[in-house]
Amino acid sequence: MDFLFAKSNSIAHLAGMTNSDLADIFKLYADLSELHGGNPFKIKSYAAAAFRIDKFPQALFNLSLQELESIQGIGKSIAQVIVSLNQNQGNWPELNKLIEETPEGLRQLMRIKGIGAKKVAFIWKELGIENPGELLYACKENRLAQAKGFGQKTQESIRKQIEFLFANQHKFHYASAEPLALQLLKTIQDEFTEMASFTGPIRRCAEVLECIDLLVATEEKEELAAQLMAIPLLNNTDWDGEFIQGKLGSFPVSIHLCSSENYMYSLFMETASEDHLKQLPAEPDDSVNWDSEEDIYASIGLSYIEPELREGLGEIEKAAQNQLPNLIEYEDLRGPLHNHSTWSDGQNSIEEMALWCMQKGYAYLGMADHSKSAFYANGLSVERVYQQMEEIDKLNARYPNFRILKGIECDILNDGNLDYENEVLKDFDYVVASIHSNLKMTEEKAMGRLLKAIENPYTSILGHPTGRLLLMREGYPINAKKMIDACAANGVHIEINANPYRLDLDWRQIDYALNKGIWLSINPDAHELDGFLDMYFGTLVARKGGLSKEQCLNALETDELLQKLKRN
């Protein structure tokens, strides 16, 4: 539930609330009262309640006043608010009033890290700023740095965050749009014409999209346009004689209607990135009715280039020399490494996960639960590490044709050390080393931690190298080349974290890594059974970066994999 961006000034629609919804409400109440100069004692107690409620193991919303009051840490007044929220379908008049009195933009400002309600109040009242745009302008004019309690560093951090927010406003994750986009394409192909395809960034499998582009061939543009606009999946459509623009669900969509003799040429032109087109050795003939894109590439002296690669990042040179990689396929994968079970913060037991993998025809399942410092994720104490290993031994005896590997996702601590002593590390089949703490750091600090972890003789795979969450959190800054060089020098493999919000290592670094001889692992980081399917999205960006099966760790069979995971 995202109250801060909710347009509605009422919370009346919330019937059944989870603890996390309740926590959001109390937090919002505390923030808004602070913004409006409310009673500090009350603010503190509501903020503390929000924190506790969010972590509370039992659902609180439907409990009686008596039951709520008997719970330690839920005071009388908090209990009363919860009960009245329940009785009034989620309405809390006092909160509604605060929301009404607060400009929308100020609530967006409170989402920015490093400025709490108190600072937003100052910005609002002293500087007259009411939204992120005005604040960005103030940062650029250096006004914030001069204001009391801010300084140059805070201003810089705020400026970066707002720019990131703005830059990503109209973008969406590939994975969030793909199911609907495929449904639309299939509808068009089944009901109208086979000559229909994605083009542009979605055909190139870009990790983040701004529009879903399609190309459809027809001799009757007007007629087909009217039929396509009647497809129920589409809304807000507009036809200009050439393109249908509109929405597919909430995603912008653009459908180009062309003649069938122009179809292949248009497909070729509209799929490529600008850089790809600029670098072509010659312009293909647009007067020819091409049979295939293969023919078009051949006509300008190039071997066929897969759509994912058409970014202008070296693929044309390779195509000219017939040296393009044979891209990996989802079906080449033999098992998932880096997964979490109920031993740490996953939803399924190791056995459930193993059975899923067996059914899928995989050869192995690599466990990598969290290590001991990840207390928020129920990380494994040394004692529990060995209990888990025992369980894995038993399961391996029960399922002799399958192999569960004893891995760990080991935290890289603030000083770059790993989270267990060597005595423990030596007993794992492999160690995925990842940074989860103190993500806000300089490149120097991040590289110090990473390089130390890479040099640790027990590190097998470097996990999500930048910690980024696409469209939500910029990763910590790294020098990717230096990091990859260090991995090459130390025999460390790198993961492509396949979670569609991460896709980290970034595909743009893959070619460099492969040239350095690095092996990559397409890791789902699954926390539940469905999470395994993310390897599909990992495979798309792996292909985009030029990965072939021959340099993919989890395309290996079990014995070769174990061999490859051994460090000298």
**Which one of the spans 20-28, 259-267, 521-529, 548-556 is the region binding Zn ion (CB under 5 A)?**
521-529
Percent helix, strand, coil in the chain, to 5, is: 50, 15, 40
Least distance (Å) from Zn ion to the CB of residue 383?
21
**Which one of the spans 285-293, 321-329, 433-441, 450-458 is the region binding Zn ion (CB under 5 A)?**
433-441
Longest Cα–Cα distance in the chain = 80
**Rounded to whole angstroms, how far apart are CA atoms 142 and 147?**
9
Nearer of residues 419 and 525 to Zn ion, judged by Cβ: 525
Nearer of residues 271 and 373 to Zn ion, judged by Cβ: 373
**Which one of the spans 59-67, 121-129, 239-247, 522-530 is the region binding Zn ion (CB under 5 A)?**
522-530
Least distance (Å) from Zn ion to the CB of residue 413?
14
**Which one of the spans 234-242, 260-268, 317-325, 430-438 is the region binding Zn ion (CB under 5 A)?**
430-438
Least distance (Å) from Zn ion to the CB of residue 157?
24
Cα dihedral: 172, 175, 181, 183 (round 10): -150
**Which one of the spans 164-172, 226-234, 257-265, 404-412 is the region binding Zn ion (CB under 5 A)?**
404-412
Using CB under 5 A as the binding rule, whether residue 525 contacts Zn ion is answered as yes
Nearer of residues 295 and 345 to Zn ion, judged by Cβ: 345
Using CB under 5 A as the binding rule, whether residue 434 contacts Zn ion is answered as yes
Asked if 108 contacts 6 with a C-beta cutoff of 8 angstroms, the reply is: no
Least distance (Å) from Zn ion to the CB of residue 360?
20
Cβ count near 217 (within 10 Å): 22
What's phi and psi for 195, nearest 5 deg? -85, 70
Nearer of residues 263 and 343 to Zn ion, judged by Cβ: 343
Q: Exposed, middle or buried by CB within 10 Å (0-12, 13-18, 19+), for 384?
A: middle
**Rounded to whole angstroms, how far apart are CA atoms 108 and 84?**
27
What length does the chain have? 568
Query: 283 to 302, contacts with Zn ion by CB under 5 A?
Result: none
Asked if 375 contacts 345 with a C-beta cutoff of 8 angstroms, the reply is: no
Q: b/e for 520-544, b at 16 or more Cβ within 10 A? A: bbbbbbbbebebbebbbbbbbbbbb
**Which one of the spans 225-233, 405-413, 418-426, 451-459 is the region binding Zn ion (CB under 5 A)?**
405-413
Using CB under 5 A as the binding rule, whether residue 411 contacts Zn ion is answered as no
Least distance (Å) from Zn ion to the CB of residue 564?
21
Query: 328 to 347, contacts with Zn ion by CB under 5 A?
Result: none
Least distance (Å) from Zn ion to the CB of residue 17?
29
**Which one of the spans 4-12, 170-178, 445-453, 524-532 is the region binding Zn ion (CB under 5 A)?**
524-532
Using CB under 5 A as the binding rule, whether residue 369 contacts Zn ion is answered as no
Q: How far is CA 356 from the centre of its chain?
A: 24
Q: Which amino acid is at 138?
A: A
Least distance (Å) from Zn ion to the CB of residue 144?
34
Using CB under 5 A as the binding rule, whether residue 534 contacts Zn ion is answered as no
End-to-end CA separation in angstroms for the chain: 49
Token code pair at residue 566: 């051994």
Q: Which amino acid is at 390?
A: E
**Which one of the spans 31-39, 208-216, 268-276, 409-417 is the region binding Zn ion (CB under 5 A)?**
409-417
Nearer of residues 155 and 434 to Zn ion, judged by Cβ: 434
Using CB under 5 A as the binding rule, whether residue 409 contacts Zn ion is answered as yes
Least distance (Å) from Zn ion to the CB of residue 464?
6
Token code pair at residue 379: 């990380």
Number of residues that bind Zn ion (CB under 5 A): 3
Nearer of residues 24 and 525 to Zn ion, judged by Cβ: 525
Nearer of residues 22 and 494 to Zn ion, judged by Cβ: 494
Nearer of residues 152 and 438 to Zn ion, judged by Cβ: 438
State the helix-helix crossing angle for 117-127 and 19-35, rounded to 10 degrees. 40
Least distance (Å) from Zn ion to the CB of residue 160?
24
Asked if 294 contacts 330 with a C-beta cutoff of 8 angstroms, the reply is: no
Least distance (Å) from Zn ion to the CB of residue 528?
12
Place of tokens 């503390």: 48
Nearer of residues 325 and 407 to Zn ion, judged by Cβ: 407
505: cis peptide before it, omega within 30°? yes
**Rounded to whole angstroms, how far apart are CA atoms 545 and 313?**
9
Least distance (Å) from Zn ion to the CB of residue 369?
8
Q: Is the dihedral of CA 69, 71, 77, 78 positive or negative?
A: negative
**Interacting residues toward Zn ion by CB under 5 A:** 409, 434, 525
